[in-house]
Amino acid sequence: MKTTKLNKFNNDSFNTGASFVKKALWFITNSLFFKSSLPFIWLKPILLKLYGAKVGKSVFIKPNVNIKYPWNLEIGDHTWIGENVWIDNLDKVKIGNNVCLSQGAMLLCGNHNYKKETFDLITGPIRIEDGAWICSKATVTQNVTCQSHSVLGVGSMANKDLDAYTVYSGVPAIAQRKRVIE
């Protein structure tokens, strides 16, 4: 029976989309201004744009947020990103208008191929459409679209697309009911 051999892991084919210098500067900026407990709410959208993110108007990013690669990030207007959100965007992440990512939510664009002894990296994009709500401690994985006004409940995990105007919960998430906005 074969075993996993992490010493054979090779990530050389993965391209972050930025030079070593840009990645190093972002690491420092992310640590000082995003992962920090200090608010810097007004400054964060400006910094993201400097590193290549597309950021709409009235975007609020709370303290202790971790963003892997801003050049792979697009955020629409009037979007809220809560404390301790982790956007692990090894691939493109597109967040629409009026989206809420609550405290501790995770957007994970990468995983590993557990079937290969070399544990190869697998990446894919994430799209969160207008009006969607990713609740506290919920996780969205690669190649998932959370359609317009969908809701991913507290602590849930979306590994498949979420339908529009539908509330999901569980691990993996399953549809619970329709979302009706009054």
pLDDT of residue 150: 98
pLDDT of residue 10: 85
DSSP-derived 3-state class of residue 95: strand
Spans of the chain below 50 pLDDT: none
pLDDT of residue 148: 98
C-alpha count within 13 angstroms, C-beta hemisphere, residue 73: 23
Rg (alpha carbons) of the chain, rounded to whole number: 17
pLDDT of residue 65: 97
Q: Which two tokens stand for residue 37?
A: 């407990």
* Gap between the Cα atoms of 95 and 76, Å rounded: 6
- What's the CATH code, domain 41-178? 2.160.10.10
* Gap between the Cα atoms of 134 and 131, Å rounded: 10
pLDDT of residue 119: 92
pLDDT of residue 14: 85
Q: Domain limits of the chain? A: 41-178
